[in-house]
A and B are shown apart, each in its own frame.
Chain A
Amino acid sequence: MKQGFLAICAAATALLAASVAQAGTLDTVKDRGKLVCGVSLATPGFAAPDDKGRMQGFDADICRSVAAAVFGDGDKIEFVPTNINTRFQALQSGEIDMLSRQTTQTFSREASLGLDFGPTVFYDGQGLMVAKSLGVSSAKELTDAAICTLPGTTTAQNLSDFFRTIGGKFELVVFESPDENRAAFFAGRCEAISSDRSDLASIRAVANNPDDYLVLPETISKEPLAPAVRQNDSNWRDIMSWSVWLLMAAEEKGITQANVDEMLKSQDPDIQRMLGVTDELGAMLGLDNKWGYNVIKAVGNYGEIFERSLGEKTRLGLTRGPNAQWNAGGLVYAPPFR
């Protein structure tokens, strides 16, 4: 019985292995007919399904831009919810083609986890949020408080370092799931909750009354959030990186989802190259020459994506801050398209 089972397993593995040639990710994705993108499951503003089950949010739109670059259709995509534990393994094993999940680019992750990060899509930093009723206005006052956070990330370590520098102590309450973490904070299990500032905005957005909570001014770490792909596939990495940069460059050049058709007639040589009117940038990446047009048509430019999911008109209410264009005092800076 057991031998039989093992034999079948072995045979199946061999068959599967034989059927998969050593193809690049782009070919795999094209053959499959859709892009598989790892996102977080329920982080409003970044990735959360709406009433109809359609994934919405900043991270989800980054995925869609890559799908649009490959297929010309931002909806040829499957979103795979990943949690903090499984996100890197999902990418390593090939279960997902790219990871767009509020993930901080760090040295050790890039060096030892077998992945390559793309451009920073969101400049973030770790912050702390408290209830206004606590009467605290600075993180330095939080000595002896209990702070809720998620494990495994660098969050806890940053907190330890921060409190060591100000010479205080704190009690750490660690939760495996973001939901549990959030609920415990709202119920008053801890005085403060610590995470990336963008994530805090998202947590604040789901509170019964967001105005009851306050994100403290201190930023205690640098957290550049970036999408990632598997290592050793530079073509695929280029496609991801330049799709993201295209979003940024489009904002700089004033190309929007609404005016992209008119922009095809633009005389600006940069715009012409980006939208595939002249030159063959798309072909160089193994994509359709109109890939740039397709991306903007599908999701809009970086600013539009930001405002749609995170901006001041949304529940999250984030300002652009460091995520403004470089010529508007921010850090968003796309390399030239030529």
Chain B
Amino acid sequence: MAETQALPLPVGAAKPPVRRSGWAKAYFGTPLNSMISLVSMAMIFFLGKLAFGWLVLNAVFSGDGAACKDSSGACWPFLAEKLRYMIFGFYPFEEQWRPLLALTLFLTSCLISMIPRFWSRALLCAWLLVVLPVLYVLMAGGVLGLSSVPTSSWGGLPLSFMLSFIGLVCALPLGIGLALARASSLPAIRVLAVGFIEIVRGVPLISILFMATVMLPLFMPEGVTIDKLLRAQVAIIIFAAAYIAEIVRGGLQDVPEGQFEAGSSLGLSYWQVMRKIVLPQALKKVIPPMVGLFIGFFQDTTLVTIVGLLDFLDTVRSALRDPEWQGIAVLEGYVFAAAVYFTFSALMGLYSRFLEQHFRVTHG
């Protein structure tokens, strides 16, 4: 649960005074500095050599498990052979173009939606009415001649993206609602919201997942069952909502009281003031920390492997345990998974920083 800390952005942040000087001085200005540079260089060189040796020099580029067993380097044939399984899990083999297409569509849509210029109501509608239904049909099938694939066969990278993305999308309205309730002047509603938020934030995600997968079915009337995947999804939504509520609350607090009063004095109702005046200002402020939060959720979805869902980390792990590769390609699998998570998280992190910059420039 890498809950991302939303640090208060230091206003007018300034670095300690740096003596302007040349390149050489930065590295070798004082004896201590030279030593630091030398030690750092030695370490970087050592790590680089280790990585290069493992990835290239000693690596095995073709052959099977037996060939890898004798080598001390990376085992590329493992990745080649297991790549499809690691990405798509147990999704029926002949149908795997569907999750591939879904993944491509999803990532392209995300990429387009990341450009602030395109943000509009139309884009939101396109997501809700076109992209998400198409993604669902592609994955689940059952119509248009696509064979039906039960959710118990979904797995791999599409599942990880789905859990985190749908989690955030559904948690957003819920979280905003909770934040408003928490800031409400009605004590009963405030207490309920505070109770919900603090309870969820006070327990680990794994316990909420356990609750959803093991306990929730017992609370359902006889004969009513909720899909296991859906239950985990609901757990993630609930978890995300509490954290979003806290971030939005920070945004709401930044909106001056006068805005609300001015709105009220114009005769606008509570909801009108919120929708038209307060929320737009508050939400703009919280978009960058929200992206940070999303990175956290993307990483947190790995926890569903503990309750038996086959997310990306789980498919990688079961690929490692394949009898043919057992104990041979452990490092390879984990490094590959880490690289995938790192790439997506780091890109989102860059995007978050870009947004911060963007808002500072355009909205003062």
Contacts and interface: CB of A to CB of B under 8 A. Distances in A.
A52 to B, nearest CB: 5
A202 to B, nearest CB: 10
Interface string B82-96: 000000001111000
Given A78-B150, A94-B217, A208 B228 contact: no
Given A1-B176, A83-B308, A86-B307, A205 B93 contact: no
A221 interface: no
A20 B213 contact: no
A20 B221 contact: yes
A93 B317 CA distance: 29
Interface in B37-65: 65
Nearest to B227: A95
Interface stretch (A61-69, A150-158, A179-187, A327-335): A179-187
B321 interface: yes
Contacts of A81: 152, 308, 310
Interface string A66-82: 00000000000011111
Interface stretch (B102-110, B177-185, B291-299, B342-350): B177-185
Given A78-B152, A206-B323, A179 B308 contact: no
A167 interface: no
A234 to B, nearest CB: 17
Interface string A263-291: 00000000000000000000000000000
B214 interface: yes
B306 interface: yes
Contacts of B93: 51-53
A42 interface: yes
Contacts of B220: 13, 93
Contacts of A41: 308, 318
B323 A1 contact: no
A175 to B, nearest CB: 12
B326 interface: yes
Interface in B104-156: 150, 152-153
A207 interface: yes
A326 to B, nearest CB: 35
Given A1-B176, A78-B152, A17 B308 contact: no
B218 A93 contact: yes
A81 B90 CA distance: 11
A20 B221 CA distance: 9
Contact of B177 (A5, A44, A79): A5
Contacts of A89: 213-215, 217-218
A contact residues, range:
35 or more
Contact of A53 (B90, B218, B224, B330): B90
A20 B224 contact: yes
A12 B18 CA distance: 62
A208 B323 CA distance: 6
A16 B326 contact: no
B323 to A, nearest CB: 4
A28 interface: yes
B321 A79 contact: no
Contacts of B323: 44, 205-208
B174 interface: yes
Interface string B283-307: 0000000000000000000000011
A49 interface: yes
Interface in A1-26: 1-2, 4-5, 13, 16-17, 20-23
Contacts of B228: 80, 90, 95
A28 B218 CA distance: 19
Given A5-B177, A13-B221, A52-B93, A80 B327 contact: no
A257 interface: no
A23 B326 contact: no
A85 interface: yes
Contact of B326 (A28, A95, A206): A206
Interface string B150-175: 10110000000000000000000110
B217 A93 contact: yes
A206 B178 CA distance: 50
A176 interface: yes
A152 to B, nearest CB: 12
Given A2-B178, A208-B326, A94 B321 contact: no
Contact of A208 (B91, B310, B327): B327
Given A52-B93, A183-B327, A16 B318 contact: no
Contact of A1 (B65, B178, B224, B310): B178
Contacts of A219: none
B177 A86 contact: no
B272 interface: no
A86 B216 CA distance: 12
A95 to B, nearest CB: 5
Contacts of B71: none
A56 interface: no
B174 A1 contact: yes
B202 interface: no
The 3 nearest A-B residue pairs measured at CB: A1-B177, A93-B217, A20-B223
17 contacts: A1-B180, A2-B192, A13-B221, A20-B223, A20-B224, A21-B223, A52-B92, A53-B91, A81-B308, A83-B308, A95-B217, A182-B321, A183-B321, A205-B323, A206-B323, A208-B326, A208-B327
Interface of B: 65, 69, 90-93, 150, 152-153, 173-174, 176-178, 180-181, 192-193, 196, 213-215, 217-218, 220-225, 228, 306-308, 310, 317-318, 320-321, 323, 326-328, 330
Given A183-B327, A206-B326, 20 more contacts: A2-B177, A5-B174, A17-B221, A20-B224, A23-B223, A53-B90, A81-B308, A81-B310, A82-B308, A83-B308, A85-B308, A86-B307, A86-B308, A89-B214, A90-B228, A92-B217, A94-B225, A183-B321, A186-B327, A187-B327
Interface of A: 1-2, 4-5, 13, 16-17, 20-23, 28, 41-42, 44, 49, 51-53, 78-83, 85-86, 89-90, 92-95, 176, 179, 182-183, 186-187, 205-208
